[in-house]
C-alpha cells in the first residue's frame, strides 16, 4: 500500500514483468489495456486517475518500456485510497 508520503508501493519485478507480458501478448486494444491496468491497481487497493490512464498505456506500449518505466507510469496514475 501507500507509504506515509502517499506514494504507492514498489511492485515486485515479477508482478510488473507479468503485467508487461500480458499487455504485450494479449493482442488487446488501448481501451482494454487501460482496463487491465485499472484492474491491476484496483486489485492492490488503488484507484486510478482515468484522465492519465490512456497516456500511460501509450507509454507502456512503446517498445523497450522497462520495469522501472512501468513502475513510474503506475505511480503516475494510481490514486491512494
In tens, the pLDDT along 60-74 reads 877 567 888 889 989
* The C-alpha cell that represents 46 in the structure block: 488503488
Question: In which band, very low, low, confident or very high, does the pLDDT at 3 lie, cut at 50, 70 and 90?
Answer: very low
Instruction: Please give the pLDDT value at position 30.
Output: 85
State the pTM of this model. 0.81
Q: How far is CA 80 from CA 54, 58, 61, 63, in A?
A: 19, 22, 24, 29
If 0-12 CB within 10 Å is exposed, 13-18 middle and 19+ buried, where does residue 74 land?
A: buried
**Structural domain spans, the chain:** 13-80
Amino acid at each position: 500500500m501507500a507509504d506515509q508520503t502517499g506514494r504507492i508501493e514498489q511492485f515486485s519485478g515479477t508482478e510488473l514483468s507479468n503485467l508487461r507480458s500480458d499487455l504485450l501478448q494479449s493482442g488487446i486494444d488501448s481501451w482494454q489495456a487501460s482496463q487491465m491496468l485499472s484492474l491491476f491497481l484496483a486489485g492492490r487497493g488503488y484507484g486510478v486517475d482515468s484522465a492519465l490512464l490512456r497516456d500511460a498505456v501509450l507509454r507502456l506500449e512503446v517498445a523497450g518500456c522497462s520495469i522501472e518505466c512501468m513502475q513510474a507510469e503506475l505511480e503516475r496514475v494510481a490514486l491512494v485510497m
